[in-house]
Amino acid sequence: MKSRESFRNSDSFRTLISSLISILIGLLAGAVIIFIVGLTNSSISFSGAVEGIKIVLFGVFSTGRSAGGALSFGFNPVNMGNLFFRAAPLVLTGLSVAVANKTGLFNIGAPGQYLAGTCASLFIALSIPSSRMAPGLIWLLALLGGMLAGALWGSIPGMLKAMLNMNEVIACIMTNWIAANLVTWLFDISKLKNTAEGTKTGYIYKTTYNGVATPKFGLDKIFAGSQINGGIIIAMILCVIMYVVMEKTTFGFQLKACGANRYAAKYAGIKDRRNIILSMAMAGAMAGAAGSLYYLSGNTEFFWSTYQSLPAEGFTGIAVALLAVNNPIGVIFSGIFMSMLNISGMQLTYLTAYNEYITDVIIAVIVYMSAFSLIIRTMLAGRKKNIAGANANAEPGKREQTLPDAREMASSSAAVKEKEA
């Protein structure tokens, strides 16, 4: 009982509750919008609005419509498999942001690091002939190359922060757009463009062109017909590794110490500049792994004209990290939840008159509430204190009983001292 009560009073429990409150408020806001749109649109009506809410909540289990036109739900291997496939890059970009936040840095450069990892991994995977090297070894080299490229790109704002004390947000924004245009140029002059399909322009070959693809670990048999592969398992393993590094090692303690107070850490003998650079490099490696796993899957092709926009996965990673309160393990669940909303948005478009942008509104509300999670935790902590104070006032007898005990202890100790004298 005491351990359960101490857990309820812990910061971890308040963090969990604040995240759940953020999700519930976001879903409630989405439900209100769905109802308003449904009731004001003659083609949707009240019953259509109810269907919209069902799909937002349970869209991943949607199996379409029955012969009578009613929505049907059940185990949908395609939706479930696609959910995990899309969750892998979100988990890793969320992990990228969370690792940097743990050390007091705001890594808004995940999109650029994602592109750097994508570029390096595709060049390695498609340039090495599978006839000369085993496809599995090519895939491993491509993944490691993507992580290294992301780490190097992430270390640039880290060095600017450590050496020149330049704001990492500004540096990350600049490196994002440099990466977008640099990757565009590199793919534009390369021989990796898809020329086999004449109707396509600006696309890079899928890695199946070279016989290289992320292993599926048998998941394709469970989720038949989906895009799933082993990327989600690799993402989970990286989350566990980063949790152990950050929470169970001296190196992780030093990183967090630099994040809490860089100058105090330096006074204590911790190399603050080195740790800031390494923190951003680790964050970049995770974002680079996200891009690598997504495009090494074998069923996705890269559109190289990235100067038009930055990868959405990099920015969604900020929401994933906020919702997980920068916990590397929590990032797994928040990434899967965000992926679930994406799948629900697609089902909303296919099966109703709504569009998927309603789920974007839900995500936006959740992000805003997650940003205020500290306020929610403070309110919960204040409520706990008020309850504890009320219980103490309600039982004055117990508090009075402790006073005589204290006096007796004081008198007995005085008697002992007199006897010794």
Q: DSSP assignment of 299-358, as one string? A: S---B--GGG---HHHHHHHHHHHHTTT-TTHHHHHHHHHHHHHHHHHHHHHHSS--THH
* Mean pLDDT value of segment 344-360: 81
**Phi-psi category of residue 62: left, alpha or beta, with phi > 0 → left and psi -120 to 50 → alpha:** beta
Q: What is the pLDDT of residue 47?
A: 83
The answer, yes or no, to whether residue 117 has pLDDT greater than 50, is yes
Give the C-alpha separation, 236 to 258, whole Å: 26
The answer, yes or no, to whether residue 234 has pLDDT greater than 90, is yes
The answer, yes or no, to whether residue 11 has pLDDT greater than 70, is no
Structural domain boundaries of the chain? Answer: 1-75+353-392, 77-337
Single-letter amino acid, residue 348: L
Each residue's pLDDT tens digit, 384-395 = 555 555 555 555
Percentage with pLDDT > 70 across the chain: 82
Tell me the helix, strand and coil percentages in the chain, rounded to 5: 75, 5, 25
Mean pLDDT score across all residues of the chain: 83
pLDDT band at residue 111 under the 50/70/90 scheme: very high
Each residue's pLDDT tens digit, 20-59 = 887 888 888 888 888 888 888 777 778 888 888 888 888 8
The answer, yes or no, to whether residue 291 has pLDDT greater than 90, is yes
Q: What is the pLDDT of residue 190?
A: 81
Q: Which CATH architecture has domain 77-337?
A: Orthogonal Bundle (1.10)
Q: What is the pLDDT of residue 404?
A: 46
Q: What is the pTM for the complete model shown?
A: 0.84
Q: What is the pLDDT of residue 119?
A: 92
